[in-house]
Amino acid sequence: MPACAGMGGRSASSVSLLAGLTMLDRIRACLSALPPAEQRVAKLVLADARGFASLPVSELAARAQVSKPTVVRFCRSVGYDGLADFKRKLAGSVNEGVPFVHRAVDDDDGAADIVVKVIDNAVSAMLKYRNAAAGHAFERAIAALAEAGRAGRRIEFYGVGNSGIVAQDAQHKFFRLGVNCAAISDGHVQVMSATMLKSGDVAVIISNSGRSRDLLDVCEIALRKGATVIVISASGSPLALQAQGPNRILLAADHPEDHDRYSPMVSRLLHLLIIDILTTGVALRLGSGGLRPLLQEIKKNLRAKRYAASP
């Protein structure tokens, strides 16, 4: 696995974290370890990866204001055999895949290639999210949800389209904790629900693009009614910008998918992962006194619904 200059001083865990990143992410992580001249080459790559992959070494050196050997040294410093090897792998890492199908696959991929590429793309996104997730934001979100659950306040999950399915998954997980919750994906019902929220209630708004008019309206209404709003969306989106201020918590779920070109795959997995983190955190906050026996009884009653016994 390509590494960056000075990697010898890094711990095994640091190397493992870099291994889970994309090529551009690894270059970004290695930037400070490179000599100044090679940093200029790295910044050129990060500014225009596709252009770098197609330009001759003389043009690259001129644009970075370095010598041609420095360009080659940079490629070796970040773990590649030379400029040709670096450019070939860079071109592969920044391709746009098959529009409206998947960003990581090519038209001529066989089933084995699809399995590897789709899984690697998802794993890479999850590892990147693990490294970037804001623990303090999760702490605030878990505290707000646990407090609402203990007080018997309402917890509403809002989403439309694919995000509506994530909202249903959230409701399915949270209602087993004995809290008052619902998942709503119809725009009109969302408006009615948000209008009935009060201080102490929590609205969890889930959106891949962060641009849905329905969800932007619901967020505005919920805030006006004094509810705590937790937004799960890409940072910088209109919905994420609404989640700045008192009683507002942003759980940013940034990913490489272009929501205008691809079906939500990695983004959906990240949103489901965030719901799992919130569910686990809230379950721990609510305590094991009455909750654990309840969950045990639910599992016992569910086993009675199965037609075939476990081997």
User: Tell me, what's the pLDDT at 122?
Assistant: 83
User: Tell me, what's the pLDDT at 266?
Assistant: 84
**Strand duo 202-206 + 228-233: pairing:** parallel
User: Tell me, what's the pLDDT at 48?
Assistant: 82
Q: Say if CB 178 and CB 279 are below 8 A apart.
A: no
For residue 65, report the phi and psi dihedrals to the nearest 5 degrees.
60, 50
Using CA atoms, how far apart are residues 14 and 77, in angstroms rounded to an integer? Answer: 17
DSSP letter string, 31-90: GGGS-HHHHHHHHHHHH-HHHHHHS-HHHHHHHHTS-HHHHHHHHHHTT-SSHHHHHHHH
Using CA atoms, how far apart are residues 176 and 181, in angstroms rounded to an integer? Answer: 10
Using CA atoms, how far apart are residues 25 and 46, in angstroms rounded to an integer? Answer: 9
Using CA atoms, how far apart are residues 7 and 105, in angstroms rounded to an integer? Answer: 31
Identity of the amino acid at 227: A
Structure-token pair, residue 225: 């009614």
pLDDT tens-digit series, residues 114-123: 888 788 778 8
- The number of helices, as runs of H, and strands, as runs of E, in the chain is 15, 5
pLDDT tens-digit series, residues 243-279: 988 899 999 998 766 655 556 788 899 999 999 999 9
Structure-token pair, residue 14: 């640091």
User: Tell me, what's the pLDDT at 269?
Assistant: 92
Using CA atoms, how far apart are residues 83 and 85, in angstroms rounded to an integer? Answer: 6
User: Tell me, what's the pLDDT at 311?
Assistant: 59
**For the chain, which residues score pLDDT lower than 70?**
1-22, 92-107, 256-263, 288-290, 308-311
User: Tell me, what's the pLDDT at 8?
Assistant: 39
**Side-by-side strand order, sheet with 180-184:** 180-184, 154-158, 202-206, 228-233, 248-252
Alpha helices in 108-237 (DSSP H): 111-132, 135-150, 162-174, 187-195, 213-224
Show the CA angle centred on residue 9, arms to residues 129 and 68, nearest 5°.
85
User: Tell me, what's the pLDDT at 95?
Assistant: 57
Using CA atoms, how far apart are residues 64 and 80, in angstroms rounded to an integer? Answer: 19
Ordered by where they begin, the domains of the chain are 7-94 (1.10.10.10), 134-288 (3.40.50.10490)
Cβ neighbours for 156, distance < 8 A, ≥ 6 positions apart: 181, 182, 183, 184, 193, 194, 197, 201, 202, 203, 204
Would you state the torsion angle of the CA atoms of residues 287, 289, 291, 293, taken in this order, to the nearest 10 degrees?
150
Using CA atoms, how far apart are residues 112 and 124, in angstroms rounded to an integer? Answer: 18
What predicted TM-score, i.e. pTM, was given to this entire model?
Answer: 0.67
